[in-house]
């Protein structure tokens, strides 16, 4: 089982209700991983950082405020870019495969070492 959480569940950001919900998902993955292990059910959380997808919020932000977007990238993304949906999907596919048979009850971040989850002062 994979729970899609977010880096907002463990990195300070605006929208505390969202962060608290994502933190709960990370906690749930940890506890269900332990609880369901005797049944041979693995449970993990995947916590994506900012993911750029066509027509998504980050795509819209980039179009609406290109200078702020560029500052956000420069400040918070050591790789100089946002992630892609395929990069998250690759991690999910691995975790669901037998190659990850000893991984359970944990969180895997797919964030490229991202700093803050959102640009300051939306």
Exactly one of 1, 2, 10, 18 is catalytic; which is it?
18
Quote the CA–CA distance of 39 and 50 in Å, as a whole number.
34
Active site residue 15: no
CA 107 to chain centre: 9
Element (H, E) at 86: helix 85-96
Backbone angles phi, psi at 102, to 5 degrees: -110, 15
Provide the annotated active-site residues: 18
């Amino acid at each position: 089982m994979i729970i899609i959480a977010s880096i907002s569940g463990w990195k300070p950001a605006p929208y505390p209700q969202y962060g608290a919900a994502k933190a709960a998902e990370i906690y749930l993955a940890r506890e269900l991983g332990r609880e369901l292990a005797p049944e041979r059910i693995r449970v993990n959380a995947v916590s994506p950082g900012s993911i750029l997808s066509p027509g998504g919020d980050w795509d819209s932000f980039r179009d609406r405020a290109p200078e702020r977007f560029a500052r956000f990238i420069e400040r918070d993304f050591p790789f100089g870019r946002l992630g892609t949906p395929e990069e998250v999907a690759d991690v999910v596919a691995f975790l669901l495969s037998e190659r990850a048979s000893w991984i359970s009850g944990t969180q895997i971040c797919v964030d490229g070492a991202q700093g803050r989850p959102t640009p300051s002062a939306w």
